[in-house]
Amino acid sequence: MLQKHHAVTTRAIRKFRRQFASKPKVVKTPNQAPPELQATNAQEVPKEQTPQAPKPPAPRLIFGLGNPGNEFKATRHNIGFLCVDTLAQSLGLEFSKNKYSSDYAEFTHNGVPVYIIKPKTFMNLSGSAVRRWLDSTKAPLSNVLVVVDAAELPLGELRLRPKGSSAGQNGLKNIIELVRSEDFPRLRVGIGRPSSKEIDLREWVLGKWSGDEHWPVQHTRQFASMAMKSWLDEGIDKA
């Protein structure tokens, strides 16, 4: 009888052990959710995101247009070169660097990189240099200012516009063609037209300044430099 009771007790213990092994006991701590809810809550907790560094500001690009070479240095067509020369001088800069077929100087204005650029591609091919600078710096067209001669304006008159056609100026025409847009600011600097209709306009534009034009040209360069600084400070709408 004792042996039979011992066998029954042994079977009961084995059964209990099997049940215990198949269903592990979960010990809950205070305020702890059940395992199935814990898994759900774990998915809802957002992961910490590493703060991203702010993107650097897009640079501003000022292009003065003209023809390279000493034979063109003092010509009316090169007033764009002369005006950016004056801007650089007023900032204590020199065009000591060369890139993308251009001489250039650089500085920082209110935390924004600024490049003053003189393409050496000749006036009628200025667009190739402008296109390369845009591709390299990723600057938007609104950050570009092109300084160029304007025969339709009297000597000393300036016209700053946010966009527009080339008005027959071949440098602007090539830029518009290669950037596929007219929507970029430009500073047109008046050089005037010849007083006589017998003088060819092309010869006039490529001609050198006369003695009477010396002082007006110097003042024009100063005013153009001030206009470029105003564009940097206030943008195209307030400059």
Active-site residue list? 77
- In the structure encoding, which two tokens stand for residue 217, read together? 């040209």
CA 162/CA 157 separation, integer angstroms: 17
In whole angstroms, give the CA distance from residue 93 to residue 115.
11
Contact 160, 227 (CB under 8 A): yes
DSSP letters spanning the chain: -HHHHHHHHHHHHHHHHHHHHHSPPP-PPTTPPPHHHHHHHHHHSPPPPPPPPPPPPPPEEEEE----SGGGTTBGGGHHHHHHHHHHHHTT----EE-SSEEEEEEEETTEEEEEEEE-S-GGGHHHHHHHHHHHH---GGGEEEEEEETTS-TT-EEEESS---TT-HHHHHHHHHHT-S-S-EEEEE----SSTTS-HHHHHTSBPPGGGHHHHHHHHHHHHHHHHHHHHH-TTT-
